[in-house]
A and B are shown apart, each in its own frame.
Chain A
């Protein structure tokens, strides 16, 4: 469907070809490819791209949420995070790192927003009172599974997993909100105002 003009799509093949092909695809087609192993750097041919930032960081997350459709409040009840980490040198610390990543992703999904005043250009919430971050009572049950992966990418095969563990959280929560309510939210954070508006419950101003 997307391999046109004689450019064959081969998993693990020429990365620049992948990018050219992807650039021609409609958004939903690109999204459809996002879960393939080769999107994570090519499990088969990663080494020949050495020096071009190809890693082996795979992560999958699942979120369970409760949406109060009368108040617009979303509560994340459980997140399951499976994180590829190469050689786990300190498994407890990796789990803790992933939990932190999930909390950052949760804040990104539901709370964090840099609000600028349209007239003055000033940020109106430049402090931890007004800029919202998830706290202890927003913390869901977080199940972390550390996935070992040995590919001789480095002397130790250990990866850093600080950023990778917060990538999947917000999309997982957004998908769960969609699954719960039947409406898609296309912008973050998913505030009560946004949820109630998406559900058609906010009256027009008279």
Chain B
């Protein structure tokens, strides 16, 4: 781990002005150049960042501390929806009464993530912007595609925890469980630049698939910060659930996680549905076939089974992760069962 200077901005715009590089760019610098180039990196909870520093994957000259920027962790009601400040801790979001009442799937996803200690330090913004957990990306000795190398070690290597969709070039899975739910909910992110100007982008568009850029997972720019996550207001007839399955219950990454959000018509039929799979693809994976299988139907056990099976349409499992197919199918069915209180 290198020495670095500490920057303590007092406003979001000051923080944006100080942040000269995003983590993804700083990590693709050649190893011999690391620490020589000027790079000021944002730090919120520091959960992911300190791992990267300690593994010598990142050597910033300055860290810009977002934690003490006043008001950046506020959770406020906004026209029937919710605006969650980027530095709100996962625990604070999970326990917030309005999150629990209006977006119980988000509360469930965050309440079960990592460990209690980490949930109280990790921030929602940091969770969305963390680098993937691929063990090749996280090891200095594997100079993989995403670090500027020329080879994906996972595609023909140890890929038991990797993607089953969209995995032909780089087989990472998106690391954020929160993102699975937030994409299903249609959330947007609010970004602030050095002049204090904001832009708001749907989270689904903010995340970057490998086809667009292999070296980053999101569209955060230098001199910009992720200031908040915006949750849209939802009709009272919306039902939702999030389920995740890790190998362990304590402190483990999900092998698979699923968010379902179903809006019911007055007759009780499904008006529209979002089914999103996490730990399945480089981005939260929208299971469009499953959504189509649910639209317009009165969802019962049999429809839930059909949708679960449809959710895996088009999957291209690798040598060691085909077990994720039955796992996801089970979770989609169970998530629908839970959301709609079937059976």
A interface residues with partner B (beta carbon < 8 Å): 70-73, 110-111, 115-120, 122, 124-126, 129-130, 132, 134-138, 191-193, 196-197, 201-205
Majority DSSP secondary structure for residues of B touching A: loop
For this complex, 12 residue pairs linking A to B, each with C-beta atoms less than 8 Å apart, are: A72-B326, A111-B248, A119-B156, A124-B136, A137-B249, A138-B249, A192-B247, A192-B323, A193-B321, A196-B323, A202-B322, A203-B326
> Roughly how many angstroms separate A120 CA and B153 CA in the complex, as a whole number?
9
- Which residue of B is nearest A206, CB measured? B316
Residues of A contacting B323 in the complex (Cβ-Cβ under 8 angstroms): 72, 192-193, 196-197, 201-202
Known A-B contacts A73-B245, A122-B142, A137-B250; the reply to A193 vs B160 at CB < 8 A is yes
Is B327 an interface residue when CB atoms closer than 8 A count as contact? Answer: yes
Is A111 within 8 A of B247, CB to CB?
yes
Given contacts A111-B247, A134-B248, A138-B249, contact A196 B327 (CB under 8 A): yes
Assuming the contacts A72-B323, A196-B327, A202-B326, asked whether A137 and B156 have C-beta atoms less than 8 A apart, the reply is no
C-alpha gap A73/B330 in the complex (Å):
12
Interface residues of A: mostly helix, strand, loop or mixed? loop
Contacts of A72 in B (CB 8 A): 323, 326-327
Q: Is the CB of A115 within 8 A of B158?
A: yes
Could you say which residues of chain B place their CB within 8 Å of the CB of A70?
326, 330
Residue of A nearest to B134 (CB): A124
List the A side residues contacting B157 at CB < 8 Å.
Answer: 117-119, 124
**Judging by beta carbons under 8 Å apart, are B250 and A205 in contact?**
no
> A118 to B142, alpha carbons, bound, how many Å?
13
Tell me the bound Cα distance from A125 to B327 in angstroms: 23
Instruction: Specify which chain A residues have a CB less than 8 angstroms from the CB of B141 in the assembled complex.
Output: 120, 122
Interchain CB contact under 8 A, B322 and A71: no
Residues of A within 8 A of B317 (CB): 203, 205
Query: Given contacts A71-B327, A196-B323, A203-B322, is CB(A117)–CB(B248) below 8 Å?
Result: no
Instruction: Decide yes or no whether B252 CB sits under 8 A from chain A.
Output: yes
